[in-house]
Amino acid sequence: MRWWWVRHAPTHARAAIGWTDIAPDLGDTGGLERLARALPQAPVVSSDLARARLTADRLAQGRPRLADEPGFRELNFGAWEGVAFDAIADLHPADYAAFWENPGPARATGGEGFDDLAARVGAAIDRLNRAEGEIVAVAHAGAIHAALARAAGLSARQALAFRLDPLSVTRLDWLAGAQAWRVEAVNRRF
């Protein structure tokens, strides 16, 4: 099973935007068209948040569109939602420091930690994973980092070190016969 993980189009937000539902900037029509041409004619699934859903709708172009998957949402930033990161450090210094020093179990104030996100994303992958075929999953940086961590056996800190640009593709293959994952590409741009 080949997973084509696509990070949604940019939002230009300069704050912690997890479950806050904001629209993407779909103005890069050339980039969206190149990406759509590069993707396989496979079913498209996305997070249920507008920035992923609207990006997926634009990329679908005749591909089967699966129901939105809430499990692919971005990390829930709780009390940090909509707050600039430097302001979060001032408002919640202990939680903010722990979140970056120990990103797996440490949680955003009133929200999730990477381990919570990884469990949620992993459960959604298990629901959709098949022995063969392809799927295009349009999601958020956090969800894609979680999928990458699972596929490569990475810690939260290791997975978060990867750059994931808007409209980039991360290709992860589930090798059913071997019961193992293969990382084909990370942050590939078209």
Question: What does the radius of gyration of the chain's CA atoms come to, in whole angstroms?
Answer: 16
Consecutive H or E run containing 103: none
| pLDDT under 50: residue ranges of the chain | none
pLDDT at 177: 92
Which domains are delineated in the chain?
Answer: 2-188 (3.40.50.1240)
pLDDT at 17: 97
On whether the CB atoms of residues 122 and 113 are closer than 8 A, the answer is no
pLDDT at 83: 97
pLDDT at 131: 81
Nearest CA to 70 among 139, 1, 167, 164? 139
**Residues 6 or more apart from 65 whose CB is under 8 A from it?**
43, 44, 56, 57
**Residues 6 or more apart from 143 whose CB is under 8 A from it?**
47, 72, 73, 74, 117, 121
The DSSP bridge pattern shows strands 44-46 and 2-7 to be unpaired
Q: What is the dihedral of CA 173, 175, 179, 185, to 10 degrees?
A: -30
What are residue 144's phi and psi, to 5 degrees?
-70, -40
